[in-house]
Copies of this chain bind each other. A is one copy, B any other.
Amino acid sequence: MSEKRIEISQLGEFGLIDRINRQFTLKNESSLKGIGDDAAVIQASGDECMLVSTDMLVEGIHFDLSYVPIQHLGYKAVAVNVSDIAAMNGKAEQITVSIALSNRFSVEAVDALYQGIKTACENYNVDLVGGDTTSSAAGLVISITVLGRAPKSKIVYRKGAQVNDIICVTGDLGAAFMGLQVLEREKQVFMADPGMQPSLEKYEYMVGRQLKPEARTDIVFDLEEAGVKPTSMIDVSDGLVSELFHLSRHSEVGIRIYEDKVPIDHMTFETAVEFKLDPITCALNGGEDYELLFTIRQEDQEKIKKHPDIHMIGYVHDRKNERVMITKQGNTVPLRAQGWDHFTE
């Protein structure tokens, strides 16, 4: 390369994606939506659409097999893809799984990986329809593509949030991040003294959220049952604030959330304090929660306000550059995205 070489870390992951995306335009009539949402949308015929999303997981970057059981890795790899289809208000139906692996891995390890994939396929009613297996010089790479389905009229994009819409998030936030902190700490303890057995009982909920997250396909079903179509939606993979920024940018609206409405599990809270971390920061920027973040019209509020796992955390306003949180003390502070970027970490 010449002296003008630009490092990928200078652009970051989103910068690189933007740069790639700018070079491509969609030409086929069937390509309704390309890069830039949780999944691409392809018109199959008439109102029927297929949704496509893909994820690549690299050992040493996305997972550490020294504390991640490989069957959980298989499960998680499927769940996070199914979550992308749920975030479009669609139903996942098929996946392809490609793996590259070095000779460090035995057939038994591959069996365990696919056992996790199979369990996830069964839980989410998804069929494994294809894939590729190859060797690698070092480590494990998993690439999954998921295909989903939705009528065109039901699909929900990141764009679409309107002024005065209510911002909702499911479940609780920050637990997967705290689970990762616990696992990393136990790994250090174990490396210092391999005779030590990790004591994870107390942290079971958070560790489970990190190792075996679930896609919220139940919420897609519940919203349909309640007759609510969100105006915009995204899944929480990089952290709440990062996803709020996506909704804000795509919908060209501002965001206002309330600190005291952000759902945090009590064990997550306590563990954050134990780790000398601010619980709200963990919830806002933790990542890997795979909850659904969406906006609904004011008039739909009644229909879901009794749902035990949907939390209304704020609302949409018209000053598109104003993304703020009202603290418990009543102060207005700007939200700052600290999502994951594997190129610049």
Which A residues are within 8 Å of any B CB, using their own CB?
A: 1-2, 4-11, 13, 16-17, 19-20, 23-24, 26-28, 30-31, 33-35, 39-40, 42, 44-46, 48, 50, 52-56, 58-62, 93-94, 96, 98-101, 103, 105-111, 114-115, 118, 121, 125-139, 141, 143, 145, 147, 149, 342-343
Chain B neighbourhood of A135, CB < 8 A: 8, 58, 61, 342-343
21 A-B residue pairings within 8 Å (CB atoms): A1-B108, A6-B108, A7-B103, A8-B105, A10-B107, A11-B107, A16-B110, A19-B110, A24-B118, A24-B121, A40-B96, A40-B130, A42-B129, A44-B44, A50-B50, A54-B131, A58-B141, A61-B135, A61-B136, A137-B139, A145-B145
Pick the contact of A130: B44, B54, B141 (CB < 8 A).
B54
Besides A6-B106, A44-B44, A134-B343, 8 new A-B residue pairs in contact (Cβ under 8 A), listed by A number = A2-B108, A5-B107, A8-B106, A28-B126, A35-B130, A54-B130, A54-B143, A54-B145
Asked if residues B13 and A133 are in contact (CB atoms below 8 Å), the reply is yes
Q: Are A118 and B8 in contact (CB under 8 A)?
A: no
Closest residue of chain B to A16, judged by CB? B133
Q: Please state if A100 and B141 are interface contacts (CB–CB under 8 Å).
A: yes
A61, B134: Cβ atoms under 8 Å? yes
* A23–B74 CA distance with the chains assembled, in angstroms: 14
| Known contacts A45-B48, A114-B23, A128-B35: A40-B106 contact under CB 8 Å | no
Q: In the complex, what's the smallest C-beta–C-beta distance from A137 to chain B, in angstroms?
A: 5
Min Cβ gap A16→B in Å is: 5
A132 and B42 contact, CB distance less than 8 A: no
Q: What residues on B are CB-neighbors of A138 within 8 Å?
A: 137-138
Known A-B contacts A35-B128, A56-B132, A58-B134; the reply to A147 vs B98 at CB < 8 A is no
A13 to B100, CA, bound (A): 11
Complex alpha-carbon distance, A44 and B7, angstroms: 42
**Contact status A147-B7, CB under 8 Å:** no
Bound form: Cα–Cα A103–B345 in Å: 12
- Complex formed: what's the CA distance from A121 to B133 in Å? 25
- List the B side residues contacting A2 at CB < 8 Å: 108
List, in ascending order, chain B residues with CB within 8 A of A130's CB: 34-35, 39-40, 52-54
Q: Which are the 8 A-B pairs with shortest beta-carbon distances? A: A44-B44, A143-B143, A40-B129, A6-B107, A56-B98, A145-B145, A34-B129, A31-B127
Report yes or no: B101 in contact with A8, Cβ–Cβ below 8 A: yes
Q: A176 vs B105: C-alpha distance in the bound complex, in angstroms?
A: 31
